[in-house]
């Protein structure tokens, strides 16, 4: 039986990969992804703390807005305290709503990653020309504010159409974070002989699926981060690996969760001499420099399809 396939990459087990290492010989690269998201009032998608009400859903909208007004500033203070860099996944609407937040991350030297216009929408719901326009609009806003376009992208709600990697590659993106199929970066095919790098992004070590979907308490989430880290360390002696941690300020920025997040991040920061604490873009560039010729086969990816072919919902991480 031949099942439909995406055609983006070939199967290759973790035990048979190109030989490479992180910059100082470390086996494990760790990055923290901070999701900065802004939502429409009275319409569109959004994570929910309580059962949604008829629009305007004030309870859930204001809970999410807490992240940009309060939670993110506590998270920045924690990252400063532990001297941890971040990859900041930014809805371009943030630049209009609360530019001070992006400025604070910019001042820290953090990486800005494209994350659509708003998490009130999914790009995979759009026709290809609409999706291309969404990517172009979000990219232009970031480029104007930051002086250069972002190198990386994560779709809102990790929403993709069959053409998303092609569109990103065609608009100059070097890597994407949407695919969670590996613990190492993986080259992906794009149409016209192009390619784009997939950098591992966590669906497990992610506060939306862990805390919101599975209703995990903050101490258990912190324990999961530590357990994951400790298990990755010995595995990374056999092959270099990537560990990402995805955080949303409106979730982990709540004081009762921040207390336990501090414990988990301090555990990682205390072992900085054994690992490479980096940004997602640093990881991508290091891998590209060492494995530049691992081009997949010449087979083109499957033909582009649209929203009806994509199964993505707000239950996914973003």
Tell me the average pLDDT across 83-91: 98
154/124 Cα distance (integer angstroms):
12
Identify the pLDDT of residue 317: 61
pLDDT, tens digit, 9 for 90 and up, residues 212-254: 889 999 999 999 999 999 999 999 999 999 999 999 999 999 9
pLDDT at 309 over 70: no
pLDDT, tens digit, 9 for 90 and up, residues 187-205: 999 999 999 999 999 999 9
Which region among 49-63, 116-130, 264-278, 298-312 has the lowest average model confidence (pLDDT)? Answer: 298-312
Predicted confidence band of residue 293 (pLDDT cuts 50, 70, 90): low
Go through the domains of the chain in sequence order and give each one's CATH number: 28-296 (3.20.20.370)
DSSP state of 200: P
Structure-token match 């190492």, residue found: 184
Name the pairing type of β-strands 276-277 and 186-189.
unpaired
Identify the pLDDT of residue 206: 96
223/292 Cα distance (integer angstroms):
37
pLDDT at 307 over 80: no
pLDDT at 314 over 90: no
Identify the pLDDT of residue 54: 81
């Amino acid at each position: 039986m031949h099942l439909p396939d995406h055609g983006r990459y070939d199967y290759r087990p973790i035990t048979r990969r190109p030989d490479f290492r992180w910059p100082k010989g470390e086996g494990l690269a760790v990055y923290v992804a901070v999701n900065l998201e802004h939502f429409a009032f009275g319409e569109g998608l959004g994570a929910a703390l309580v059962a949604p009400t008829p629009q305007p859903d004030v309870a859930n909208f204001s809970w999410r807005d807490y992240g940009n007004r309060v939670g993110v500033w506590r998270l920045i203070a924690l990252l400063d305290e532990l001297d941890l860099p971040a990859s900041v996944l930014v809805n371009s609407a943030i630049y209009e709503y609360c530019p001070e937040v992006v400025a604070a991350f910019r001042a820290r030297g953090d990486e800005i990653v494209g994350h659509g216009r708003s998490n009130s929408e999914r790009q995979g719901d759009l026709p290809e020309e609409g999706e291309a326009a969404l990517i172009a609009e979000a990219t232009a806003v970031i480029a104007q504010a930051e002086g250069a376009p972002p190198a990386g992208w994560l779709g809102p709600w990790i929403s993709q159409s069959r053409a998303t990697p092609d569109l990103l590659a065609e608009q100059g993106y070097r890597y994407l974070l949407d695919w969670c199929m590996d613990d190492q970066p993986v080259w992906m095919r794009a149409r016209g002989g192009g390619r784009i790098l997939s950098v591992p992004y966590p669906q497990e070590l992610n506060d939306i699926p862990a805390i919101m979907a599975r209703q995990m308490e903050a101490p258990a989430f912190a324990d999961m981060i530590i357990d994951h880290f400790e298990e990755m360390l010995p595995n990374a002696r056999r092959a270099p690996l990537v560990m990402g941690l995805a955080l949303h300020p409106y979730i982990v920025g709540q004081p009762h969760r921040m207390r336990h997040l501090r414990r988990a991040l301090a555990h990682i920061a205390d072992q900085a001499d054994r690992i490479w604490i980096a940004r997602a873009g640093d990881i991508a560039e290091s891998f590209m420099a060492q494995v530049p010729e691992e081009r997949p086969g010449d087979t083109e990816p499957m033909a582009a399809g649209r929203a009806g072919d994509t199964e993505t919902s707000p239950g996914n991480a973003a």
